[in-house]
Amino acid sequence: MSDGLSLRTLRKFLPTRRQESHKGDYGHVLLIAGSRGMSGAAVLAARAALRAGAGLVTAAVPESQQPIVAACVPEALTLPLSETSAGTLRTESLGRLLAAHQSRGFAALAIGPGLGTHPDTLKAVIGALGSLKIPAVIDADALNVLALQPRDQIRALLESRGSPSVMTPHPGEAGRLLRLKTREIQDDRRKSADSLAKEYGCVCVLKGWRTVVSDGASCWINPTGNPGLAKGGAGDVLTGIIAGIWAQHLASRSSAGALQAAALGVYLHGLAADIAALAKTTRSLLASDVIEALPDAFQKAGLH
């Protein structure tokens, strides 16, 4: 922990849940995720966003994956999108996403888990980020898509959005975005997170042991988590948690709100993993175990 961020500060970010409230009071997350063979990424992120407290989650996935996601996460809405022959999003799916936002009024966007980097999908991702002017958590293949663009175009895209963005790279993805080797990222993780945040005007969540959360000025070194998170799906869960937390703070379109949502999401993700590992062990821990331990993590953190 550093630069004035503390759990006490972060607790204040999350709104209390009033007795007379309804699902519309806690935000609607749009999750753009999944492809053929990667439906699990969408399932994990959607379940995590709901467990984190979002009032509603819509999982926008390639049409062939919609029945799978709908069956695995009955609490989520689903939006089937046109797909390529490879089972990834087609560029034409952007129109349906924009129409859904116009009718449903999404509070936060989570984009990237399991999307793939098909040329059509690349255009859909760039189009969604440029057209959906809402707070965005950018992860996984959405980061890989951005890394394929010139750095000045990435900056221009994120600046044009008018809403803050949180990038959640692992060291390899951070390296691709900064045109550095993974080893160079790991040599000074705080400096790397600060550099990425400043370069792209975002909040950077540099994943790994002692995850670093930075907006380029303030920084949080996360104290929770364990080696059990070094397993497929853990990052998808983190994306869902951050988006679910951020969506509940409907008035927060500031960079400070982005930093707080990211830091609180990272803390709870690691704390849930620590709680789950007591029973499952770090070797046998699954991403779904982290989701199931979230209620205990909220309670232990004093976020009832």
Per-residue model confidence as pLDDT tens digits over 185-203: 999 999 999 999 999 999 9
pTM: 0.97
Tell me the C-alpha distance between 224 and 269, whole Å.
8
Which runs of E-coded beta strand occur in the chain? 28-32, 56-62, 77-81, 108-111, 136-138, 165-167, 203-206, 212-214, 219-221
* End-to-end Cα separation, the chain, in angstroms: 22
A 10 A CB-CB count for 155 gives 15
Closest CA to 203 of 247, 244, 256: 256
The residues spanned by each domain of the chain are 23-299
CATH number attached to the domain at 23-299? 3.40.1190.20
- For residue 123 the two structure tokens come to 């255009």
Residue 13: the pLDDT is 81
Per-residue pLDDT of the chain (304 residues; tens, 9 = 90+): 455 568 888 888 888 888 999 999 999 999 999 999 999 999 999 999 999 999 999 999 999 999 999 999 999 999 999 999 999 999 999 999 999 999 999 999 999 999 999 999 999 999 999 999 999 999 999 999 999 999 999 999 999 999 999 999 999 999 999 999 999 999 999 999 999 999 999 999 999 999 999 999 999 999 999 999 999 999 999 999 999 999 998 655 677 889 999 999 999 999 999 999 999 999 999 999 999 999 999 999 998 7
